[in-house]
């Protein structure tokens, strides 16, 4: 018997047509034993109308009031999930008809696997596949170097940020902690990968492009921001204290230090010099780098000089 798969869709001010396409791609799966949870963080519940047009009992809609934020919105959906497996689907992305079939079956065959993931297309606002951009993204995150099949453990894939956790992955719900960090913010996908790989279980990879990630300026992963920089820095810092990641400790702590440095720059651009200085100190304490020392120096420079240097770093 095929186990139930939960597909959470965390919505927030979603374009109705994009949300509709995301839901339709989930309903069109060759595996039919699914539930779709639309968890809506929008100011009102107007997106409910999109969900209601499908008239499918496998879809549930929840409007959050007050807003939970991107990480907590996902955590709430995971908490409500009844499925043995979870496949996150962004509200503006789509998955191929055989997405679940290709990724759930390896998990069923090997109980030592925590996740199964694939490569993905990059698409534009209108859904056109962008081949050059897709190949570029694959190379940036090192998926062109992964040998297809089982990778166990997959610590190095977390360090390289190779796993498209919310763009093309299925994971076991029972391996995800019941109390994930609220501070994850927009870096929730990085935290998900860390939390699922830290116990040394395996991952299954197929280079097939079974999902499509829509690239546009309002996409969370296309935006910087203090929450994103801080959430990612905290994740790297946590992993840096984890004995399982000892071979990668120096590399991971450098990532954490750079994350705090980015927090400092963000605060400086908002004129918050004291906050920037504190983030600079945290960067240095995590792992001394020239960027960390720069982050501590910039707040005490005369404002005209500081502004000029910040423009040069933009």
Q: Is the pTM of this model over 0.85?
A: yes
Neighbouring C-beta atoms of residue 300, cutoff 10 Å: 9
From first CA to last CA, the distance across the chain in angstroms is 55
Q: What is the DSSP-derived secondary structure letter of residue 129?
A: B
Q: How far apart are CA 233 and CA 117, in angstroms?
A: 24
Structure tokens at 47: 């997106």
Tell me how far apart the alpha carbons of residues 94 and 8 are, in angstroms, rounded to a whole number: 13
Q: How far apart are CA 213 and CA 8, in angstroms?
A: 16
Pick the closest to residue 207 from 160, 145, 161 (CA basis): 145
- Decide if 214 contacts 137 (C-beta within 8 A): no
In a 3-state reduction of DSSP, which class is residue 94? strand
Q: What's the half-sphere exposure (Cβ side, CA atoms, 13 Å) at 158?
A: 33
Domain map of the chain by residue range?
Answer: 5-221, 226-313
Superfamily for domain range 5-221? Spore Coat Polysaccharide Biosynthesis Protein SpsA; Chain A (3.90.550.10)
Per-residue pLDDT of the chain (314 residues; tens, 9 = 90+): 789 999 999 999 999 999 999 999 999 999 999 999 999 999 999 999 999 999 999 999 999 999 999 999 999 999 999 999 999 999 999 999 999 999 999 999 999 999 999 999 999 999 999 999 999 999 999 999 999 999 999 999 999 999 999 999 999 999 999 889 988 999 999 999 999 999 999 999 999 999 999 986 655 454 568 999 999 999 999 999 999 999 999 999 999 999 999 999 999 888 899 999 999 999 999 999 998 888 888 887 777 766 666 666 54
């Amino acid at each position: 018997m095929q186990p139930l798969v939960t597909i959470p869709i965390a919505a927030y001010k979603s374009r109705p047509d994009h949300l509709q396409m995301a839901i339709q791609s989930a309903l069109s799966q060759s595996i039919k034993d699914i539930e779709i949870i639309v968890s809506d963080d929008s100011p009102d519940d107007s997106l409910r109308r999109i969900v209601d047009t499908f008239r499918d009992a496998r879809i549930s809609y929840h409007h959050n009031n007050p807003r939970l934020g991107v990480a907590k919105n996902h955590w709430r959906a995971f908490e409500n999930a009844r499925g043995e497996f979870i496949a996150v689907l962004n509200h503006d992305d789509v998955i191929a008809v055989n997405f679940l079939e290709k990724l759930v079956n390896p998990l069923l065959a090997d109980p030592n696997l925590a996740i199964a993931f694939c490569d993905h297309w990059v698409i534009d606002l209108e859904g056109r596949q962008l081949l050059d951009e897709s190949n570029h993204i694959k190379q940036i995150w090192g998926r062109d170097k992964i040998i297809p099949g089982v990778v166990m453990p997959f610590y190095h894939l977390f360090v390289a940020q190779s796993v498209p956790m919310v763009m093309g992955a299925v994971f076991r719900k029972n391996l995800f902690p019941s109390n994930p960090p609220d501070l994850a913010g927009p870096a929730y996908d990085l935290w998900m990968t860390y939390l699922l790989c830290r116990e040394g279980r395996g991952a299954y990879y197929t280079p097939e492009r079974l999902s499509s990630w829509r690239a546009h300026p309002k996409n969370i992963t296309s935006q910087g921001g203090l929450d994103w920089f801080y959430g990612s820095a905290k994740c790297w810092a946590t992993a840096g204290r984890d004995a399982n990641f000892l071979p990668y400790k120096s590399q991971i702590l450098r990532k954490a230090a750079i994350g705090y440095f980015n927090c400092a720059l963000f605060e400086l651009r908002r004129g918050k010099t004291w906050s920037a200085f504190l983030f600079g100190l945290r960067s240095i304490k995590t792992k001394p780098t020239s960027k960390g020392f720069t982050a501590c120096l910039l707040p005490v420079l005369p404002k005209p000089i500081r502004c000029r240097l910040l423009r040069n770093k933009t």
